[in-house]
Amino acid sequence: MIDLEVPKKFVPLVRQAAGMADEVFRPISRKYDLAEHEYPRELDLMSAVIDGLSESGASQGAGASGSTRAKDDDSADEPAGVGAGRNSRSASKTNKNGANLSSVLSIMETCRGDVGLTLSLPRQGLGNAAIAAVANDEQKERYGNRWAAMAITEPDTGSDSGNIRTTATKDGDEYVLNGEKIFVTSGERAELVVVWATLDRSLGKKAIKSFVVERSNPGLKLVRLEHKLGIRASDTAAFTLDNCRVPAQDLLGDPEIRTEGGFGGAMQTFDNTRPLVAAMAVGLTRACLDLTASLLDKAGVEVDNDAPIPTQSYAQATLVQLEAEYEAAYLLTLRAAWMADNGKPNSMQASMAKAKAGRTCVNVALKCVELCGAVGYAETELLEKWARDSKILDIFEGTQQIQLLVVARRLLELSSSELK
C-alpha cells in the first residue's frame, strides 16, 4: 500500500520549516531583495536552531547539508513511508525515510517563504550536498559543520559539465587548480568551495573530480558578485583559480580515473542536489498558488473543486489545472529523494523531478501574476518577486533541456556520445 503522508518523525521538522517561512523569511523577503548582497543577519539565529535540531537528533537535515545516501539508516522503522510505489512488495524490509527526504520536505516549506534566503542559510549550501554525496567518512566528519558552496559553471562551459576546463594537476601531496568559475551560489559567504576540475581534459566527464577549497585559500580569488534577476538575497560569485594548491586529502571520492565507470563520483552529486532544487521549485510554486487563491477569493473568485472545469470561470479553471501540475512535480520530487535514501539509482528520476518542477514553477508564477493583474505585477505583493525568483530554478543544477536529455538517454539506453 502506498502511503504519501509525511513520515511522523519528520512532522516537527516540517512544522519548524513552515514557521521559519511564515514568521522569518516572508517579513524580510522584500528587504533583502532590494538590498542585494547585504548578508541577512537574521539567518544566523535560524542556522543555530537548525544545528541544534541536528545535534539533538530531531532533524535529519533541514537543508542541503543533510542530503546523503544512507546505507544503514535507523529510519527504516517506517515501512509504509513516502515513495513505497513500485517497491511496495519489499517495503517492509527496505523502505527508509532518511536525510534526502527530510531535506526535500523542509526545503519545500522554507522556499514558500523565500528561495534566496533558503540558499543563504549557513551550512545548508549545495556544496554541503556535494560533500554528503561523495565524501568519505573522514571528510564528512572534517567538513560537517562548515558552510560549502559549489563551483561548477565556467564562462565557456554551462550545462555541459563534461567540458569543464578548470584543471587539477597532481604535485606531490597536493593538487594545483587553475581555471575560472562563475555563478557560484553563496560563493562569497561560504567557508568552503567545492570546485569541479578535470584531471585530464581528453577523457571528458570520467576525469572530473571535486575538490574542497578553503575560501581563504590565496589561490582562490573573488572576481565579482553578480547582479541578478531573482534570488537577490543570495550572493552569486565569480572566481579565478590561479595555481590554487589543495591538499590531496581534500579531493572528494576516488582519486583514480575510472574509464569504465561512466560518470565519475563528482557526477553523483547531481543525484542528490537536483531533487533539492526541485524541492525549491515545488515550495515556490505552492507559495504562488496559495497567495493567488487568497487574492482571487477576496475578489469573489473561489475555486469549486467539485464542479466540472468547463462550468467555471477562466481564473477558476486555470487554478485547478495549475494545482494538478504542482501535484505532479511534488510527487516526482518525493520519489527521487526517497530513491536516494534507499540507495536506488535515481539519476533519471532526479532529472525528471528537476525538469518538471522547474518548468512548473516558472509557468505557475507567471500565470499567477497574470491572474492577479495589476496586483500581481506590483510590489505590494510578493508575486512579482516570486516570478523573478522562479526562472533560476529551471536553470541551475542543469537546465530544462539538459534534464530532458538525461531522461531521454536513460529511457533509450544511449550514452552521451550516442545522444547529444
- The Cα-based distances of 368 to 68, 108, 140, 245, 385 in angstroms read 35, 19, 42, 49, 12
Dihedrals phi, psi of 107, to nearest 5 degrees: -65, -35
Strands 251-252 and 220-225: unpaired
| Residue reference for cell 540558499 | 119
Strand, coil or helix: 194: strand
Q: In this structure, are residues 114 and 29 in contact, taking their beta carbons and an 8 Å threshold?
A: yes
Strands 251-252 and 148-151: unpaired
Q: Which of 180, 381, 384, 397 is catalytic?
A: 397
- For residue 63, which of 117, 115, 125 has the smallest C-alpha distance? 125
Determine how many CB atoms are found less than 10 A away from the CB of residue 97: 28
Is 302 assigned a catalytic role?
no
DSSP collapsed to 3 states, 113-142 = HCHHHHHCCCCCCHHHHHHHHHCCHHHHHH
Residues designated catalytic: 397
